[in-house]
Structure 1
Amino acid sequence: MTTAVTRPYTVTADHTPAPDAYTATVYMNTDRDNYDGYEPHHPLAAATRTDGSPLRLVFHASDRITDHEAAADAAYTVGNRQGADDNGQRWPTDIRSVSIGDVIKVTGPDHWIIHLSVDSFGCFSAVPEPTTLITLAGKTRVTRRR
């Protein structure tokens, strides 16, 4: 009898299992008053790659990334062009930086999801899952305001 394996083990060069990871997706607040903080009625647009697919940042669980908030903080740092995620992905130059009022969705290694609003540098508040998600007409990227 053969048994199906639903998830093969991933190994690194030293043959130890790959670490669990947190995935962060940033939702840019497009409301006129977005810098005053997130409100549930504010429209949000997912930060995307140039092909329109969602930009997902990956951070491996470690002594630095121990929980959802640490992963959100790491995403905020990458979103402000201060390095890359654990896969070497940097924040696109044509998308504005992550700011107060934006929301970061973090999925943990246990598949638990939390949405955190950016309140100020290094401070986040848990918020309900946003319901006002938009795609900008004719363009799916949130660019810098001039």
Structure 2
Amino acid sequence: MTTAVTRPHTVTARIDTPDHTPTPAVYTATVYMNTHDDNFDGYKPHHPLAAATRPDGSPLRLVFHASDRIDSHEAAADAAFEVGNHWRADDNGQTWPGDNIRSVSTGDVIKVTGPDHWIIHFRVDSYGFSTVPEPTTLVPLTDPRITHRD
């Protein structure tokens, strides 16, 4: 003998929805400190440059999300200059390691990689920036004019 059992109607469905949230476009900046004797007179292609690092020696990469304010490589370089002079943090909250490295100054070079993967190098001028070719003379960050390490 069989008995009829009434079951509630249920529907089980698995719906896969890919995350279509766009990844925010970012600019990254690396500051190269000019270690030449007359570095404050401006950058020249033969001047040695040292990449700014964190206190532990790891590379210092500043990150800026593309926005109304950061809408070009030059705007990202300007934001990196502001971080390098203790005026603000980057978009990840990273600040300039002021106890270890001098502030960003005339004669330094800022490398900016944009969301389009274009890389532009900017010389810090007394007012604003100028584009320069990729520096070729890179040295370790040990010069006492750059670092404040004892």
Query: TM-score band, normalised by the shorter chain?
Result: 0.7 to 0.9
* 1:80 maps onto 2:85 in alignment: yes
Kindly tell me: are residues 127 and 87 of structure 1, through their superposed partners in 2, closer, same or farther at Cα, counting changes over 3 Å? same
Counterpart of 2:28, as a letter, is: T
* 1:99 maps onto 2:105 in alignment: yes
Q: Distance in 2 between matches of 1:124 and 1:55?
A: 20
Task: Provide the residue aligned with 2:125 in structure 1.
Answer: 119
Task: Provide the residue aligned with 2:43 in structure 1.
Answer: 38
1:16, distance to aligned residue in structure 2 (A): 3.6
For residue 120 of structure 1, give the secondary structure of its aligned residue in structure 2: coil
**Structure whose alpha-carbon radius of gyration is higher:** 2
Q: Distance in 1 between matches of 2:88 and 2:123?
A: 21
- TM score, norm. by length of structure 1: 0.82
1:143, distance to aligned residue in structure 2 (A): 1.6
How many residue pairs match? The answer is 130
Counterpart of 2:76, as a letter, is: A
Q: Distance in 2 between matches of 1:17 and 1:120?
A: 38
Structure 1: gaps spanning 5 or more residues: 1-8
* Aligned counterpart in structure 1 of residue 146 of structure 2, from 129, 139, 142: 142
- TM score, norm. by length of structure 2: 0.80
List aligned pairs for 1:3-14, cutoff 5 A. none
Retained in 2: the 8 A contact 1:48–1:141? Answer: no
List aligned pairs for 1:42-53, cutoff 5 A. 42-53=47-58
RMSD of aligned C-alpha atoms? 2.1
Counterpart of 1:26, as a letter, is: V
Q: Distance in 2 between matches of 1:91 and 1:49?
A: 8
Retained in 2: the 8 A contact 1:47–1:141? Answer: no
| Stretches of 4+ aligned residues off by more than 4 angstroms | none
Post-superposition CA distance 1:21-71 (Å, at most 9, x none): 000000000011000000001000000012211100000000000000000
List aligned pairs for 1:18-29, cutoff 5 A. 18-29=23-34
